[in-house]
Amino acid sequence: MKKVNLLGPLFGFALMAAASVYADPDPNFHIYLAFGQSNMEGQGTIESQDKTVNPRFQMLSTIDNFNGRKLGTWNEAIPPLANKHGGLGPTDYFGRTLVEKLDPQIRVGVVVVAIAGCSIVAFDSPLDQGYMSTQAGWFKDIVKDYGDDPYQRLVDMAKKAKEDGVIKGIIFHQGETDEGDSDWPNKVKKVYDRLVKDVGLDENIPFFAGEVPYQGSSKGTNTNIRKLPEKSKNFYIVSAEGLNDLDMMRIHFSSQGYRDFGKRYAEKVIEVLGDKLNPVATSTPESSSAEPAASSSSGTPASSGDANSSSSAGPADGSSSSAQSPESSAPAEATSSSEGSEAIRAVQAKGVAIGKMVVSQNAIVVPVNLDRASRVNVSVYSVLGKQVMSMDAMFSAGENTVNLDASKLPVGNYLVSVQAGSARSTARIDIAR
């Protein structure tokens, strides 16, 4: 058994790796598809401030062997997110802003496919080989990384993402290459309709299209972009007004421009989706046959192998099942005492079992059982949603234990979130002395 002891609150996260766990999609893992050309790919310089990201924000790798990321796996959303040719882009601070502004139970994932210089026809299916024959070698290399079919790669990865969470919207930035094509808005609508059908999305899923720089060399593209809402009630425009800090080509935004533009995308999503972004209550009832958890004073938590509960889902940051328990739609309460008390629920999924947490006035003990090595994250939040404690560590297969020092936590109610690979358990606890 591996034990991890944390002597006091730890702040910040390390990399969270996704485990191969199959369960129901997590309704609190919000996923967005993103596609387009160079501005969506991201052309900004990645600076030190961009290299640290909240692990509640994840990216699904749409390219194999990309910065050590495997195709179809969830990874911490450190840029570049689209491909090895890209840099900082709008999806970076889109996701960061959402996790900052939304409830801490919500996680955000992005699935990005973008090709610098591409026409909208690059997202036709099948890909027009006549179009491809006219492209430069570097362009063909990017397309090759997407399996020589960018649209199909987006569809395949979107379906993969749906296994773990809920696709809430589509963000889009393309059009500079098609500036003179008056039929471009209709072509975009066709891609949207096909994507909705092929991925099996809600027919009213919102589509957010970003403008190009007002003072840029492709500013005429905005004429086409602003016609998009005429094609569907589900189409929305994200303004680029005032974002005039551009690169030397005056086509792309600067790094700060991408940060600001990403925030605008997020703010538009929040405006449009509103209450649909609130967390969904999930419950994972404990089996009546489960052994009671031992007091934390004994230092021996109950075996997680005895837990018999519903599956949970979600990549990297984990999740509980979207199926609602009729007996409980909100997290259960656990009150601590000098003798210690059982925590709140057990989660079991294929390959991963999170046992009953044990809470005392000075410690929170979290047992985790794995049938394969995986990364485990434990976070504690105040009732106001502020993270007050966090740890992230790699565990070996078998029984493992995390001991959190609760002695410095003020008396009050807290939310404990435990993630092991793709399984997650959350519970409210009461620290009382």
Checking DSSP bridges between strand 363-370 and strand 387-395, what pairing results, if any? unpaired
- List 233's β-bridge partners, or say none: none
Residue 290 has pLDDT above 50, yes or no: no
Per-residue model confidence (pLDDT) at position 125: 87
Burial of 57-75, coded b for 16+ CB within 10 Å and e otherwise, reads bbbbbbbeebeebebbbbb
Comparing CA positions, the residue from 95, 146, 100 lying closest to residue 125 is: 146
25-29, 216-220, 295-299: range with lowest mean pLDDT? 295-299
Give one word for 408, left, alpha or beta, with left for phi > 0 and alpha for psi -120 to 50: alpha
Per-residue model confidence (pLDDT) at position 284: 43
151-191 pLDDT per residue, tens: 999 999 999 999 999 999 999 999 999 999 999 999 999 99
310-337 pLDDT per residue, tens: 333 333 333 333 333 333 333 333 333 3
Residue 390 has pLDDT above 60, yes or no: yes
HEC readout, 389-427: EEEEEEECCEEEEEEEECCCCCCEEEEEEEEECCEEEEE
Whole-angstrom CA distances from 132 to 15, 96, 123, 173 are: 37, 35, 12, 20
- List phi, psi (to 5°) of 190: -65, -40
113-156 pLDDT per residue, tens: 999 999 999 999 899 999 999 999 999 999 999 999 999 999 99
17-21, 68-72, 143-147, 260-264: range with lowest mean pLDDT? 17-21
Three-class SS of residue 45?
A: coil
36-58 pLDDT per residue, tens: 999 999 999 999 999 999 999 99
Per-residue model confidence (pLDDT) at position 34: 98
**How many alpha carbons lie under 13 Å from residue 331 in its C-beta half-sphere?**
22
Q: What would the mean pLDDT of 226-245 be, rounded to a whole number?
A: 95
Residue 205 has pLDDT above 50, yes or no: yes
All structural domains of the chain, each given as residue ranges with its CATH number in brackets, are 2-18+281-431 (2.60.40.2550), 29-277 (3.40.50.1110)
Could you give the percent of the chain with pLDDT greater than 90? 55
Angle, helices 150-162 vs 184-199, to 10°: value is 40
- List 426's β-bridge partners, or say none: 417
Q: Strands of 74-76's sheet, edge to edge?
A: 74-76, 57-60, 107-114, 29-36, 166-173, 207-210, 235-238
Residue 397 has pLDDT above 90, yes or no: no
Three-class SS of residue 304?
A: helix
Per-residue model confidence (pLDDT) at position 236: 98
pTM > 0.75: no
pLDDT band at 424 (very low <50, low <70, confident <90, very high): low
pLDDT band at 431 (very low <50, low <70, confident <90, very high): confident
Count Cβ atoms below 10 Å from residue 52 Cβ, excluding itself.
Answer: 10
pLDDT band at 81 (very low <50, low <70, confident <90, very high): very high
Rounded distance between C-alpha atoms, residue 129 and residue 188, angstroms: 19
Q: Name the most confidently modeled range: 247-256, 391-400, 424-433.
A: 247-256
Contact 136, 129 (CB under 8 A): no
Rounded distance between C-alpha atoms, residue 339 and residue 342, angstroms: 10
Strands (E), 290-357: 341-342, 347-349, 352-354
Active site amino acids = 38, 247, 252
368-388 pLDDT per residue, tens: 777 777 677 778 877 666 778
Q: Which two tokens stand for residue 224?
A: 């086409």
Three-class SS of residue 328?
A: strand
Give one word for 313, left, alpha or beta, with left for phi > 0 and alpha for psi -120 to 50: beta
Rounded distance between C-alpha atoms, residue 40 and residue 142, angstroms: 14
Residue 213 has pLDDT above 50, yes or no: yes
Q: What would the mean pLDDT of 192-199 be, rounded to a whole number?
A: 98
User: How far apart, in Å, do the first and last CA atoms of the chain sit?
Assistant: 31
- Which residues does 131 contact at the CB level (< 8 Å), separation at least 6? 119, 121, 122
- List 173's β-bridge partners, or say none: 36
Give one word for 249, left, alpha or beta, with left for phi > 0 and alpha for psi -120 to 50: alpha
**How many alpha carbons lie under 13 Å from residue 217 in its C-beta half-sphere?**
8
Three-class SS of residue 334?
A: coil
Checking DSSP bridges between strand 423-431 and strand 358-359, what pairing results, if any? unpaired
Residue 306 has pLDDT above 80, yes or no: no
Residue 285 has pLDDT above 60, yes or no: no
- Find the angle CA(40)-CA(177)-CA(190) to the nearest 5 degrees: 75
